[in-house]
Chain A
Amino acid sequence: NAGVTQTPKFQVLKTGQSMTLQCAQDMNHEYMSWYRQDPGMGLRLIHYSVGAGITDQGEVPNGYNVSRSTTEDFPLRLLSAAPSQTSVYFCASSISGLGSYEQYFGPGTRLTVT
C-alpha cells in the first residue's frame, strides 16, 4: 500500500491564481480530511469528508473547496490564492471515523503564495 499520497510536494502561486492540491489513499478509508499547518498554530482542519459525495467544513474553510467523487480521492481547490494561504497542507484518512485517534497523514504540500 502507498498509504496517503499528495501532489505536488511544493508549489509557488501568484496572488489570484487557482490550483488543486491532490490527495489519494489506497486503504479504502471512508474518512478523509484536509489540514493546514502554520508555525505556532498547530494543525487546523479545513474540510473533511465522511464518504464519497459527502463533505463538510472544518475550522478554516474560507477560500477552499473540496469534492469527493470517489473513496480514494479528496482534492482541495484554492479558488483565488492569497498570501494568507501560504502554508503546509496535509491530507489525512481514517478507517474508523473522523474522530478516530488513528489518522494516517500524507507527506504534505508546501504552498507559497506571492
Chain B
Amino acid sequence: QQQVKQSPQSLIVQKGGISIINCAYENTAFDYFPWYQQFPGKGPALLIAIRPDVSEKKEGRFTISFNKSAKQFSLHIMDSQPGDSATYFCAASMKRGNTPLVFGKGTRLSVIA
C-alpha cells in the first residue's frame, strides 16, 4: 500500500520556467513533510520540509505548498535552472512510534536550456 503518491514520474522544464511536483497522502497522523533532492550518482539530501500547520514554506527558489484538507502538498521550483536537474522525492514523517519515513516514488526533473 503506497502511503505517499507522487506525480509526475518525469518532468521536462525550460530554463527559467516553474517546475511543479505534486504529492498526496492518506494518513493524517503524518506530522512533517520533507522533500529530498538526489543528483545522479549521489545519495538523496534533505531539501526543504514543512509542518502540516503551515500552508507554505519558501527557501530561495524552492517553495512547498501544503493543503491539509485535500491531503496534498507540492514542490514549486521557480526560475528553474539546469543545475536543478535531479530526482526529487516527497516524503511523510511520523515521529511517534519510530515509524520509518515514507517516500514517494520520485520525479526525475530535467531542466533544458
Contact = CB atoms under 8 A, between A and B. Distances in A.
B9 A108 contact: no
The majority secondary structure among interface residues of chain A is loop
Contact of A42 (B41, B100, B105): B105
Contacts of A48: 100
Interface in B66-99: 89, 91, 93-99
A106 B42 CA distance: 8
Contacts of B98: 31, 50, 97-99
Contact of A41 (B46, B96, B105): B105
Chain B contact patch, size range: 20 to 34
Contacts, number: 66
A100 to B, nearest CB: 6
A103 B101 contact: yes
Contacts of A40: 9, 105
Interface residues of A, number: 25
Given A50-B98, A58-B100, A105 B93 contact: no
B100 A45 contact: yes
B34 A42 contact: no
A106 B38 CA distance: 11
Given A43-B89, A99-B95, A99-B99, A90 B44 contact: yes
Interface of B: 6, 9, 32-34, 41-46, 49, 89, 91, 93-101, 103-106
Given A42-B104, A58-B100, 4 more contacts: A40-B105, A45-B100, A107-B42, A108-B42
19 contacts: A31-B98, A33-B100, A40-B9, A42-B6, A42-B104, A43-B89, A58-B100, A90-B43, A92-B43, A97-B95, A99-B93, A99-B99, A100-B101, A101-B49, A101-B91, A101-B101, A103-B101, A105-B43, A107-B43
Interface of A: 4, 31, 33, 40-43, 45, 48, 50, 58, 90, 92, 96-103, 105-108
